[in-house]
Chains A and B, each alone.
Chain A
């Protein structure tokens, strides 16, 4: 949204923006209230969502956060929290490009560096369901593309 706005203001610098170019603003506007309320719900339910994901992951594999003798559940939780917040912001601003370029592509290399691909795969399968539970039927579709992008990059 921000990038589209900037692009529009740049391109329309020497001329007026056409009616079609103003469409995206109208489209964004039509769902903006839902975006804000979805964002606020995720913000307020952050702990609940994270707990639920953690429970489900442990149910699938009790030792999922262990590597050798080390327990990494705190680190994993911190990272999941980070992903959730950035995903919510990307939904709010309707800016998936920034999420991909500014976070996901980098984070994928970190997951690979620590050989955490399997945990990531399960995590980003479970996360969308946990998020959907706190959202209304109208809000969930706004979060869906963000979750799909996250899953495709981090959980492939």
Chain B
């Protein structure tokens, strides 16, 4: 997304160094004269209904069949990669600090807050296995899963792609992501695994064999790969 011409967020202009700007009414600027909504960084925002989400997912399924999961993942991945670039600029400008010199946990909160404000859900990141090359992300209130309801399988491919793309861009190494459990499977929240390709492949294999998120998590923590 690129900043929209001629839109300037008034609160941002008044308080350029303000870092707590994530309530909906602070973060977004509703311009009734132009009929537009822009965010803190002057990017245009569009509101989408649940019908839109259903239409997107089901329409894509009708067009490309089972490949729709991959398409959604790729859309998310591309988005995440680009967002990593934009995020770096915003972060360094806002906190006057180099991204690579900042604490990872802090960077992650800074990245995800706009998503929380815009309704993509709250999250929780588990970095305890970071040294072993993987991490877990829990998403509460996924837009996609909440909208589609209980369909018995993971549905949040766009999130998985987004995480893969963003973390690839952030650490400049190829990473992938898979959704291990999903609200749309009747779980209370969605759980994602981010890591190198071999880890994700192993998790995907176990998942196909019928392993639960908890089984997969246990095996990964024990350092197991596909036998």
Contacts and interface: CB of A to CB of B under 8 A. Distances in A.
Contact of B113 (A86, A98, A101, A109): A109
Nearest to A86: B20
A93 interface: no
B24 A101 contact: yes
Chain A residues touching B, majority SS: helix
Interface in B84-132: 103, 105-106, 108-109, 113
B204 to A, nearest CB: 30
A16 interface: no
B109 A102 contact: no
Given A102-B26, A113-B103, A114-B103, A107 B108 contact: no
Interface in A128-152: none
Given A102-B26, A106-B113, A109-B113, A114 B106 contact: yes
A102 B109 CA distance: 15
Most B-side CB within 10 Å, residue of A103, A107, A114: A103
Contacts of B23: 98, 101-102
Interface in A51-69: none
A115 B21 CA distance: 22
A106 B106 contact: no
Contacts of A86: 20
Interface string A102-119: 110111011011110000
A27 to B, nearest CB: 24
Interface residues of A, number: 14
A110 B26 contact: no
A109 B26 contact: no
Contacts, number: 33
A35 to B, nearest CB: 22
A102 B21 contact: yes
B109 A109 contact: yes
Given A102-B26, A106-B113, A113 B20 contact: no
A90 to B, nearest CB: 12
B21 A113 contact: no
Interface in A67-126: 86, 98, 101-103, 105-107, 109-110, 112-115
B22 A113 contact: no
Contacts of A103: 20
A107 B22 CA distance: 10
Contact of A106 (B22, B24, B103, B105): B22
A98 B23 CA distance: 8
Contacts of A102: 20-23, 25-26
24 contacts: A101-B22, A101-B24, A101-B25, A102-B20, A102-B21, A102-B22, A102-B23, A102-B26, A103-B20, A105-B22, A106-B20, A106-B22, A106-B113, A109-B109, A109-B113, A110-B106, A110-B109, A112-B109, A113-B103, A113-B105, A113-B106, A113-B108, A114-B105, A115-B105
The 6 closest A-B pairs by CB, nearest first: A101-B23, A113-B105, A102-B23, A103-B20, A113-B106, A109-B109
Given A102-B20, A102-B23, A105-B22, 15 more contacts: A101-B22, A101-B25, A102-B22, A102-B25, A106-B22, A107-B20, A110-B106, A110-B109, A112-B105, A112-B109, A113-B105, A113-B106, A114-B103, A114-B106, A115-B105
